[in-house]
Amino acid sequence: MVKRDHEPPEYLSPRASGILLPISALPGAHGIGDIGPVALRWLEFLHESGQKLWQILPIHPTGYGNSPYQSTSAMAYNPLLISLEQLAYDGLLSRADFTDYPQTSPDCVEYERLIPVREKLLRKAAEKFLKNGRLSGYDRFLRGQPWLENYALFEVIGGQFPGRPWSEWPEALRRREADSLEKVRRELALELDIVKVKQYFFHNQWQWLRKRARQLSIKIIGDMPIFVAHHSADVWSNPELFDLREDGMPRVVAGVPPDYFSETGQRWGNPLYRWEKHAETHYAWWAERLRCAMDLYDVVRIDHFRAFADYWEIPAAEKTAIRGTWRDGPGLNFFSELRERLGELPIVAEDLGILSDAAVKLREQLGSPGLRILLFAFDGDDPKSPFLPENYIENCVAYTGTHDNDTIVGTFSEDSSGKLRWMLLKKYLPTTCADFQFPKNLLYWLACSPARWVIFPMQDILGLDSLARTNTPGSPENNWKWKLQGDELTAEIRILLCQLGLR
């Protein structure tokens, strides 16, 4: 069914505002935010502040650079986000287990220091859980996650060959020969069980978080990258679904061509899908991926949505994205098949950048909301810019910026581009904002737009500068590390959010 673009879908009701904040950025007591009591307190804060939405980043196991967009699984959960505090409440850890826990920065996630100690504690909790006997809930969890066996095998085998992608494993394991996998199951049974139990810990804690969010009428918006990492359980266990060479390496990779943002384009390096093979299975792998996402979130934001219409194919041997070819994506048939399997698909389409007519048409046919980014309105002098709040349609989700953008304060810094944006801001900001308070007036301006949903990155609510960026695309350093400090959630911030809350 084709919908009119200006009609917001039912899942975009009621009109609401919320906060973009990664789980890892919550002010956790153990160096990184998690999904235990600290997340429950965050939900209470959102509720008390009149907010109805919480957008997070992908919660899957992180790979290179701790990026949530380069995961070792598109369906598994990130053990780093499991609450150690909750495991202690459950009797699986003791106070003595935390004696040697490192002191960490209050405003920065120090992954290198945290990962070893957290892995040690999670293993201890998992071993105690297994020693105490299997629970019926655990057995139900195992039966309900068909992806889990392959993920556990991938993690355990990978642990035997640290630092090596699966395409460099011994041939029998790379090709998933039955005898070799059975040997792993037999000789490394405990390791497989520990991987599975950690996934169960996350699953249990997340169910409590979702339940509390529903009680407080807060919707959780998840984030799904359209492409997956080459070194992932998904590609290793389903090589026929990806465009790979005989040796398991990608033949072609994902990215975007040169544009006004980059003279060489962006070469992401993710393997591309063999869409014809997915169609032969009626998109079974995608159906399972979306089912998992819909079990976790109320609404799913799909990153780089345009690739369902058309995508940039780059030969893997190329070092940049300059030499590539546009290919057709699966289009409307993909979504029609998935709707038959899953029912309504509550998705938000990340439709930023230069879009083809086919990509625009596909989003309009689905009726899915796209994005509007306020900061993009000041990249040029155009009163008809779709990023100026007065030009928004109702069927969209509006942001000051995304996790890939600078903060408001950083964007309007003292360099030449920042000064130019100041001039444009003064030109386009409504005259009713005479009592100018930067950056608050930009937040109010966005809140007054026609957008059905408005989401503010927490850094912009706090008025932080570029040092608080979540991610700087193209830069491998200091990403995904910013962390909220508990004392920043003041009464003044709560009042500001109440004023910004949409009615």
What is the sign of the dihedral through the CA atoms of 224, 230, 234 and 240? Answer: positive
Question: Are 149 and 165 spatial neighbours (Cβ–Cβ below 8 Å)?
Answer: no
Cα separation, 307 vs 290, whole angstroms: 16
* Amino acid (one-letter) located at 264: T
Cα separation, 237 vs 241, whole angstroms: 9
Is the pLDDT reported for residue 18 higher than 90? yes
Q: What is the pLDDT of residues 23-46, one digit of tens each?
A: 999 998 899 999 999 999 999 999
Average pLDDT in the 13-27 region? 96
Is the pLDDT reported for residue 365 higher than 70? yes
Q: Across the chain, what does the average pLDDT equal?
A: 93
Specify whether 303 is catalytic: yes
Q: 């359209």: which residue's tokens?
A: 226
**C-alpha angle 13/16/21, rounded to 5°?**
120
Question: Are 429 and 444 spatial neighbours (Cβ–Cβ below 8 Å)?
Answer: no
| Segment among 60-64, 214-218, 432-436, 487-491 with least mean pLDDT | 432-436
**In this predicted structure, what is the pLDDT of residue 6?**
64
**In this predicted structure, what is the pLDDT of residue 354?**
84
What would you measure as the largest C-alpha separation in the chain, in angstroms?
74
Question: Residue 222's beta-bridge partner residues?
Answer: 300
Name the band, by pLDDT with cuts 50, 70 and 90, for residue 498: very high
Name the band, by pLDDT with cuts 50, 70 and 90, for residue 416: low
Is the pLDDT reported for residue 454 higher than 70? yes
Q: 């899942």: which residue's tokens?
A: 11
Kind and range of the H or E element at 113? Answer: helix 111-131
Is the pLDDT reported for residue 3 higher than 50? no
| Segment among 44-58, 67-81, 171-185, 472-486 with least mean pLDDT | 472-486
Q: 146 lies in a domain?
A: yes
Question: Are 17 and 52 spatial neighbours (Cβ–Cβ below 8 Å)?
Answer: yes
**In this predicted structure, what is the pLDDT of residue 433?**
57
Is the pLDDT reported for residue 1 higher than 50? no
* Amino acid (one-letter) located at 209: L
Burial 361-399 (b: 16+ CB within 10 A, else e): bbbbbbbbbbbbbbbbbbbeeeeebebbbeebbbbbbbb
**Phi and psi (nearest 5°) for 362?**
-65, -45
Is the pLDDT reported for residue 4 higher than 50? no
Instruction: Using alpha carbons, select from 288, 195, 196, 199 the residue that is nearest to residue 241.
Output: 288
Instruction: Using alpha carbons, select from 466, 463, 461, 496 the residue that is nearest to residue 482.
Output: 466
Is the pLDDT reported for residue 213 higher than 50? yes
Q: 4 lies in a domain?
A: no
Average pLDDT in the 297-316 region? 97
Is the pLDDT reported for residue 176 higher than 80? yes
Q: Per the structure block, which two tokens stand in for 425?
A: 């801001």
Instruction: Using alpha carbons, select from 208, 63, 66, 77 the residue that is nearest to residue 147.
Output: 77
**In this predicted structure, what is the pLDDT of residue 64?**
78
**In this predicted structure, what is the pLDDT of residue 307?**
97
Average pLDDT in the 451-480 region? 93
28 vs 53: which has the higher pLDDT: 53
Specify whether 350 is catalytic: yes
Average pLDDT in the 265-270 region? 93
Average pLDDT in the 278-284 region? 97
Domain that holds residue 112: 10-500
Percentage of the chain surpassing pLDDT 70? 97
Q: How many domains does the chain have?
A: 1
Q: Given the DSSP bridges, would you call strands 299-303 and 266-271 parallel, antiparallel or unpaired?
A: unpaired
Cα separation, 490 vs 488, whole angstroms: 6
Instruction: Using alpha carbons, select from 251, 361, 385, 241 the residue that is nearest to residue 308.
Output: 361
Query: 303, 310, 351, 460: which one is catalytic?
Result: 303
**Phi and psi (nearest 5°) for 253?**
-135, 165
Query: 85, 288, 379, 404: which one is catalytic?
Result: 404
Burial 444-468 (b: 16+ CB within 10 A, else e): bbbbbbbbbbbbbbbbbbbbbeeeb
Cα separation, 3 vs 181, whole angstroms: 48
Which CATH number do you get for residue 55? 3.20.20.80
Instruction: Using alpha carbons, select from 426, 36, 408, 409 the residue that is nearest to residue 201.
Output: 36
Percentage of the chain surpassing pLDDT 90? 84
Question: Residue 71's beta-bridge partner residues?
Answer: 62
Average pLDDT in the 399-420 region? 89
Question: Are 221 and 55 spatial neighbours (Cβ–Cβ below 8 Å)?
Answer: yes
CA–CA distances in Å: residue 220 to residues 212, 270, 299: 11, 27, 7
Is the pLDDT reported for residue 273 higher than 90? yes
**In this predicted structure, what is the pLDDT of residue 2?**
38
Cα separation, 226 vs 350, whole angstroms: 10
Specify whether 97 is catalytic: no
| Segment among 70-84, 145-159, 268-282, 372-386 with least mean pLDDT | 372-386
Cα separation, 247 vs 386, whole angstroms: 46
What is the DSSP code (8-state) at residue 102? P
Cα separation, 421 vs 443, whole angstroms: 16
Question: Are 389 and 449 spatial neighbours (Cβ–Cβ below 8 Å)?
Answer: yes
Average pLDDT in the 178-205 region? 98
Average pLDDT in the 455-472 region? 96
Task: Tell me, letter by letter, the H, E, C secondary structure of 328-377.
Answer: ECCCHHHHHHHHHHHCCCCEEECCCCCCCHHHHHHHHHHCCCEEEEHHHH
| Segment among 388-392, 411-415, 443-447 with least mean pLDDT | 411-415
**In this predicted structure, what is the pLDDT of residue 33?**
96
Q: 230 lies in a domain?
A: yes
Average pLDDT in the 207-227 region? 97
Name the band, by pLDDT with cuts 50, 70 and 90, for residue 310: very high
Alpha carbon 158 to its chain centroid, in Å, reads 24
